[in-house]
Amino acid sequence: MLDALRRRGYQCVGPQVKEAGIVYAPLTSVDALPRGVNDQQSPGEYRLHDSGAARCFAWANGAQALKPLLFAPRETLWRVERGDDGRIQFRETLPVVSPVAVIGVRACDLAALRIQDKVFLQGAHPDPYYGARRQALFLVAVNCSHPAQTCFCASTGDGPSAVQGYDLVLDELDEGFLVAAGSDAGAALLDDLTLGVSSDAQRRAVERQHVDAVQTQTRRLPSRNLRDALFANLEHPRWQEVADRCLSCGNCTMVCPTCFCHAEQDQAHLDGTGSEHQREWDSCFTQGHSYIHGLTIRADTRSRYRQWLTHKLGSWHDQFDTSGCVGCGRCITWCPVGIDITEEAGAVCGDQP
């Protein structure tokens, strides 16, 4: 499959172990996949272990989602140049994009991609930077067989098995993979491969795996109408309790596959010949993010945590007609003090998960 993708001009990107974590990186060989690796995740904890097993995808998502591949952590949006006559000109800096095939995308990240497509492409002002990268993507999903203890995508309806948004989807068994196409491009690629026909027993094993993956998830978001419940509890004492623990570090927003806050700034050339207008990821947990004309609107951690949670699970519905959470659990694992979004939402809304 990797060879067939390369023949079609795609650069393959896939999960690999780097610095004790699993990240997406250019993938030139299946030998680079994390074969025989398991993960252990809990609030504020992430560890990899060698299991010695034959599987390449027996772990849940690491810190990185598809987000950095589409919404660049830092990029120049335009350049301003001053000519010899003193006049200034604005130059577009659209990215030069080559086709990329991402191997091993999980269902929650496909759901997050649908949300980011709404944010960046389906509004009144589609983002051409995101759009150029989005068009060049070929997505090979892998259904989750080993959700982490922090995953709760079953309760948000976004996983653990992928149902849409992929070109190909894989199910991993000890003896190999079952593969199915989800798009014309995926079906055309399958035509290029020499594949066997799966047996009834293999298909039953895959179905069992889907059911087991749902049943191993123990966390869930409260089932009531979270938007109304959160806004009815804006003065709940729990906001201060969580603020007493929260470091306002912004880790939760950096790893979240749907967060899109960013800041913009101009970098002037020292010789005065021009400048670059740059965009980079920002977080609603920083003090600067809510600074407007001499006033920091959310000056304390309580108001920033409340803003994050009520936006993600509440007003996101008003803006984008969907929740902003796909249950990937990253914000729980990568929070240095182990704050758990399911627990906090449950406490504020009076419905303990």
Interface residues toward ligand SF4, by CB under 6 A: 246-252, 255-258, 285, 312, 325-331, 335-337, 339, 341
Strands (DSSP E) contained in 136-213 are 137-142, 168-173, 176-181
In the sheet with 21-26, reading across from the earlier edge strand, the strands are 21-26, 11-18, 100-105, 137-142, 168-173, 176-181
* Nearest residue to 254 via CA among 21, 48, 64: 64
Phi and psi at 48, nearest 5°, equal -105, 150
CB of 337 to ligand SF4, least distance (A): 5
- Which is nearer to ligand SF4, 113 or 326 (by Cβ)? 326
- Which is nearer to ligand SF4, 102 or 331 (by Cβ)? 331
* Complete DSSP assignment for 121-148: HSSSS--HHHHHHHHTEEEEEE--SS--
CB of 343 to ligand SF4, least distance (A): 11
Output the CA torsion sign for 59, 63, 66, 68.
Answer: negative
- Which is nearer to ligand SF4, 67 or 146 (by Cβ)? 67
Q: Which amino acid is at 294?
A: G
CA–CA dist 16, 23 (Å, integer)? 6
- Dig out the tokens for 195 from the structure: 């594949």
Which strand (E) or helix (H) includes residue 239? helix 238-245
CB of 184 to ligand SF4, least distance (A): 29
- Which is nearer to ligand SF4, 258 or 275 (by Cβ)? 258
CA–CA dist 133, 261 (Å, integer)? 19
CB of 64 to ligand SF4, least distance (A): 12
Q: Which residues on neighbouring strands pair with residue 271, listed in sequence order? A: none
What is the Rg, in whole angstroms, of the alpha carbon atoms belonging to the chain? 22
Phi and psi at 234, nearest 5°, equal -70, -20
CB of 104 to ligand SF4, least distance (A): 17
CB of 63 to ligand SF4, least distance (A): 10
- Which is nearer to ligand SF4, 226 or 341 (by Cβ)? 341
CB of 236 to ligand SF4, least distance (A): 16
- Which is nearer to ligand SF4, 101 or 246 (by Cβ)? 246
- Which is nearer to ligand SF4, 117 or 276 (by Cβ)? 117
- Which is nearer to ligand SF4, 139 or 335 (by Cβ)? 335
What is the distance, to the nearest Å, from the Cα of residue 281 to the centroid of all Cα atoms in its chain? 14
CB of 116 to ligand SF4, least distance (A): 11
* Complete DSSP assignment for 12-59: EEEEEEETTEEEEEE---GGGS-TTEEEEEETTEEEEEE---S-S--S
CB of 152 to ligand SF4, least distance (A): 7
CB 217, CB 155: distance < 8 Å: yes
- Which is nearer to ligand SF4, 104 or 186 (by Cβ)? 104
